[in-house]
């Protein structure tokens, strides 16, 4: 299965998980460089689950950011459908990731807070329902 097919078949909350993973992949290596490389990455993997208490203001920011990220995802998914070379697809993916991070931050959330909300949604059906209502 190629990237085009995967992007077309994702459901809304699975898309959120993918976005969080992509953002984590982009930010963890940078942070690891700052704090001593391998040791920090090992500690990062063993960190406790994110704090599950989010205020309504942060959830509203998340809903707005998610809307922007979904628009970007559609735009880049369509563009990815036209790409034939792996290098071009990789460059497009990097551009998408940077624009996604910018969209999250422009909505007043840090990437970490955005990712924490995404992770919390995966295990909390009430939070997921509340956010789905905010996004509709």
> Domains in the chain: how many in total?
1
| Strand (E) or helix (H) holding 48 | none
One pLDDT digit (tens) per residue for the chain, 136 residues: 555 444 444 444 455 555 555 555 454 443 333 444 444 444 445 444 444 689 999 999 999 999 999 999 999 988 888 888 999 999 999 999 999 999 999 999 999 999 999 999 999 999 999 999 998 8
Task: List strand residue ranges (DSSP E) for 52-113, in order.
Answer: none
* Backbone φ, ψ for residue 38 (5° rounding): -60, -40
pTM of the predicted model, to two decimals? 0.63
What is the model's pLDDT at position 84? 87
The closest of 3, 4, 7, 13 to 130, measured between CA atoms, is: 13
User: What is the span of the domain harbouring residue 115?
Assistant: 3-135
């Amino acid at each position: 299965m190629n990237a085009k097919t995967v992007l077309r078949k994702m459901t809304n909350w699975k898309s959120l998980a993918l976005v969080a993973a992509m953002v984590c992949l982009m930010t963890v290596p940078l942070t690891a460089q700052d704090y001593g490389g391998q040791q920090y990455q090992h500690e990062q993997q063993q960190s406790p689950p994110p704090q599950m208490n989010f205020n309504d203001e942060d959830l509203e920011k998340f809903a707005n950011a998610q809307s922007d990220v979904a628009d970007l995802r559609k735009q880049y998914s369509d563009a990815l459908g036209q790409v034939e070379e792996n290098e071009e697809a990789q460059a497009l993916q990097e551009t998408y990731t940077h624009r996604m991070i910018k969209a999250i931050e422009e909505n007043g959330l840090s990437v970490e807070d955005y990712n924490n909300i995404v992770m919390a949604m995966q295990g909390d059906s009430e939070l997921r329902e509340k956010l789905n209502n905010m996004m509709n």
